[in-house]
Structure 1
Amino acid sequence: MTAVPEPARVPAQLPARPPDGLPARTHVPDAEPADAEPFDLLGIGIGPFNLSLAALADPLPGLTAAFYDQRPGFHWHPGLLIDGATLQVPFLADLVTLADPASRWTFLNYLKSRERLFPFYFAERFHVHRAEYDAYCRWVAESLPSTRFGQQADSVRWNPGRAAFEVDHTHLDAHGEAEALGRTYARHLVLGIGTEPYVPEPLRPLAEAPAVPVVHSGRYTDERERLLAAEHITVIGSGQSGAEVFLDLLRARPAGRERITWLARTPAFAPMEYSKLGLEHFTPDYTRYFHALPEAVRDGLVPRQWQLHKGIDTETITAIHDELYRRTLDGGWPDAVLTPGVAVRTAGRLGTREVELHLEHVEQGTRSRLVTGAVVLATGYRERPLDRLLAPLAPYLRRDTAGRPSVDALHRLELDPAVTGRIYVQNAERHTHGVGAPDLGLAAWRSAVILNDLTGLLTGEEHYPLPARTAFTTFGLGGHPAAPGTGPGAAEQGLTRTGAPRRG
């Protein structure tokens, strides 16, 4: 029940800042004056997760917050907004509803503001179009006073004299060019810098060259016409994006001359686990259970749970089979090859019009080669490393045995006590919180956990009451786990409480 992870928010290489002695820093329009009071919270990155946090923070009295993103405006995976593609989570998994259904920023209120509530009601849709979700998020992002686009965060330091984080950032114009430099202070941070497309090592040189189209699925709609012009197309990847790309290409090719190959490493083009009890892996209860497991156990669990978040929804599988079957009605078979269990060993170019893929079948142990005119890499996304942005804080970061940042139950990086500010992370904690980390269905709950922890620290009160139990399944022995802050000794644990809501 996972959604497509957030796109990348920071550049692969951050620009160097001018050393002392060069022209003085030009402050960004709307930048904070040097003597301004630090924000209580500064968010870096404005994808769905930090946008959820910004929306839930909006009504909190006395909390000062700002959210920066380097892009000129909000767009959610524009390259994957294929006609008819829907979210894999219900519309209730919007930015705020599962924490505050009375919020002004719900999806239903968005529909009402567009005079589309009755059409949505009669459509009887539980899963909305991706394009509609993108438009909803853009409505929220453009309406909130705390969101600031065109602001690229470059580096983060701890300033003990101000007891605040010092964030250097660059103001970008509409074309992404640097206009000015700025510096902002914040007592606490939340990082939602998103993910970046993953390109397997054998295919990276091909993806970086301009000749034959070898493109990640995140740019599919931008490159669609160029891909369709190829005599033969290969799609690599068995998840939802790979299935949607394959189906869209199949529908666009003439019967009998499809010339499409679909390859995947997984042992099958498998349906996503969508049973009701299976979906309880995307509840706060399972997140708490997973976080409490030993590191080695967590690391072993995530790859085995691939069908929870890397499978294909049954509607898309059915549509693919129906399309293939329809093409057999006049006799013959479609010229389409679907082969799971295949790894790409090496790849190279043949002239200027073709790519040669060297393949190995994992179970058979056999090898083959495939010549194709275009490749779509539906190979997913990886969490963008935090190290570039947090390099000045490296000595203060606690890490696990694999060198990854340690993240506590409340989504806070574990820092040296010398740093009294808190750094929260969103969608950078799959290794500590499990497969639900990138899932849109947990966005509002995680945002509420973060805000409750923050307001509990600042005011001693919390704004969003959270349920103590969210699943029928009891994960592990010893009774059903209580939500953080609901059991004995919660105050000593420093965990969030589920007290009465504080309303402004």
Structure 2
Amino acid sequence: MSQVLPGDAPLVHDLIGIGFGPSNVAMAIALSEHNARVGRQEAVTAHFFEQQPKFGWHRGMLIDDATMQVSYLKDLVSLRNPASEYSFLCYLQSKGRLIDFVNAKNLFPLRVEFHDYFEWAAAKVDDMVSYGHEVIAVEPVVRDGVVEYLDVTARSGSEVVVHRARNLVISTGLRPVMPEGVDRTDRVWHNSELLKKVDGLEGTNPSRFVVVGAGQSAAENVAYLHRRFPEAEVCAVFSRYGYSPADDSSFANRIFDPAAVDEYFTAPDDIKQKLMDYHGNTNYSVVDIDLIDDLYRQAYQERVLGTERLRFINVSRVTGVEETQDNVRATVKSLITGEETTLDADVVVYATGYSQADPVGLLGEVGDRCHRDDQGRIRVERDYRVATHPELRCGIYLQGGTEHTHGITSSLLSNTAIRVGEILQSIIDRDLKAAPATAQPLADGIGTAR
């Protein structure tokens, strides 16, 4: 329900961020650096809400030997501010590993290490975030028919807090996707929960895993389970003939350049689709060639030795899973012959990707003031601001859910540092810090009055 502006109002933030994954951590860092430059009077005040109890990014896939698929230079800050104290190199220096990392001659850190970098960076700006707080409502605050502010309600246990904002930055991440009709259980997993679920198998002796999917995560799951359970058979099921390699060549990687966002945004819709079709193999349903080769070599070696534990069931799909008393039965159908076979397994792992939640799903009636295109997608301006009705003066910015307007980097790390700088500059340029007709108490970055 719309709220008319009361006399006794909450503190006002220039920006409230929903979610505190890597994108909004980068946003908080950009704010911190800006505020340090301009001083308190011109500072942009902000607060973030994160429903997790602490920072975490794909924890279920922090396999010990998995590496990033993006250069360490595409960290939270370096492409925006190469001199930043929040860079991956500064992190390495603080950990005493900078020289060792240089000697390793590797652009792609371990995923575990990059996650630790994210945690290190998030800790430096944790005065701007409330962990363990789930945003449950966003309501418009109206004066003279105009939405001046947005009230953000967050819940932590039995506690409910309300913060008021001139701008929102929504970065709620991706949601695991399971095939229609398939639910996650103790024996049917999504790869996003792999490590946690595997720990639950401690003390058991699984004999077979089935992994469904043909992308990087699927291949990593196959390799990890094969290594972790040396007595178990691991069956990879996918509809392709084999894993397809990711195109990480120099020219193809230009699709991740900041300039490519400008070009994609202004391109006609048919060209946008062609670009996605041309370059989807840089990111979607593809696997690092080194991992492909390792898996093939392992499978061939086992065949030579007569110890086959690694099976690839290609041009096929899993049409159903049924749990029995002792295991889970997967029905696998050949796409060529139509023949069906069953695999009795201890676990079926679906590495079937993620989807972007509706970015305005939290906005309630505020979402009714957001414009959509003829396909029902949210209209987003070049500065990542949602196009809204004129009476909504607040800015609503998206980090994610903008692939249809901004291209393939929408939910990737590649352009994060640049994107948060553009969002911050947009907020400043729109001059939403101008004092309203009835002055409201302002909040600093940690929610105290000034």
CA contact (8 A) 1:202 1:345 kept: no
Measured at CA, do residues 387 and 458 of structure 1 come closer, stay the same or move farther in structure 2, by a change above 3 Å? closer
* Cα displacement string for residues 145-185 of structure 1 (whole angstroms, at most 9, x for unaligned residues): 32221222111122123711111111x2xxxxx13111111
Aligned residue runs from structure 1 range 184-333, under 5 A: 184-204=163-183, 207=184, 209-210=185-186, 213-226=187-200, 229-254=205-230, 258-295=232-269, 298=272, 302=276, 305-310=279-284, 311-328=286-303, 331-332=305-306
Measured at CA, do residues 302 and 318 of structure 1 come closer, stay the same or move farther in structure 2, by a change above 3 Å? same
Q: Which runs of 5+ in 2 are unaligned?
A: 2-6, 434-450
Measured at CA, do residues 67 and 376 of structure 1 come closer, stay the same or move farther in structure 2, by a change above 3 Å? same
Out of 49, 52, 66, the residue aligned to residue 68 of structure 1 is 49
Shift of 1:197: 0.7
The aligned residue for residue 468 of structure 1 is none
Aligned residue runs from structure 1 range 365-444, under 5 A: 365-444=338-417
Out of 125, 132, 157, the residue aligned to residue 106 of structure 2 is 125
Query: What is the percent sequence identity of the aligned residues?
Result: 27
Measured at CA, do residues 45 and 277 of structure 1 come closer, stay the same or move farther in structure 2, by a change above 3 Å? same
* SS at 1:42 equivalent: strand
* SS at 2:408 equivalent: coil
In the alignment, residue 166 of structure 1 is paired with which amino acid?
D
The whole-number CA distance in structure 2 between the counterparts of 1:142 and 1:169 is 21
* Cα displacement string for residues 307-331 of structure 1 (whole angstroms, at most 9, x for unaligned residues): 22121111211222233344345x3
Measured at CA, do residues 459 and 197 of structure 1 come closer, stay the same or move farther in structure 2, by a change above 3 Å? closer
Shift of 1:192: 0.3
CA contact (8 A) 1:267 1:341 kept: yes
The whole-number CA distance in structure 2 between the counterparts of 1:341 and 1:58 is 51
The whole-number CA distance in structure 2 between the counterparts of 1:285 and 1:264 is 35
Q: Which runs of 5+ in 1 are unaligned?
A: 1-16, 18-32, 173-177, 461-504
Shift of 1:108: 0.9
* SS at 2:166 equivalent: strand
* Cα displacement string for residues 38-70 of structure 1 (whole angstroms, at most 9, x for unaligned residues): 111111100111111111111213111111111
The aligned residue for residue 160 of structure 1 is 142
Shift of 1:419: 0.3
In the alignment, residue 372 of structure 1 is paired with which amino acid?
A
Is 1:142 aligned to 2:142, yes or no? no
* SS at 1:245 equivalent: helix
* Cα displacement string for residues 412-433 of structure 1 (whole angstroms, at most 9, x for unaligned residues): 1111111011111011112222
Shift of 1:225: 4.5
The whole-number CA distance in structure 1 between the counterparts of 2:182 and 2:301 is 34
Give the aligned CA root-mean-square deviation in angstroms: 2.4
Of 85-94 and 425-434, the range deviating more from structure 2? 425-434
* Cα displacement string for residues 378-400 of structure 1 (whole angstroms, at most 9, x for unaligned residues): 11111122343112213201112
Query: What is the TM-score normalised by the length of structure 1?
Result: 0.77
The aligned residue for residue 31 of structure 2 is 57
Query: What is the TM-score normalised by the length of structure 2?
Result: 0.86
The whole-number CA distance in structure 2 between the counterparts of 1:47 and 1:265 is 32
The whole-number CA distance in structure 2 between the counterparts of 1:319 and 1:187 is 52
* Cα displacement string for residues 329-371 of structure 1 (whole angstroms, at most 9, x for unaligned residues): 5x3252322133323333322x222323333334555544333
Out of 67, 70, 85, the residue aligned to residue 104 of structure 1 is 85
The aligned residue for residue 93 of structure 1 is 74
In the alignment, residue 269 of structure 1 is paired with which amino acid?
Y
CA contact (8 A) 1:153 1:169 kept: yes
The whole-number CA distance in structure 1 between the counterparts of 2:194 and 2:302 is 24
The aligned residue for residue 447 of structure 1 is 420
In the alignment, residue 81 of structure 1 is paired with which amino acid?
L
Q: How many residues in Structure 1 have an aligned counterpart in Structure 2?
A: 414
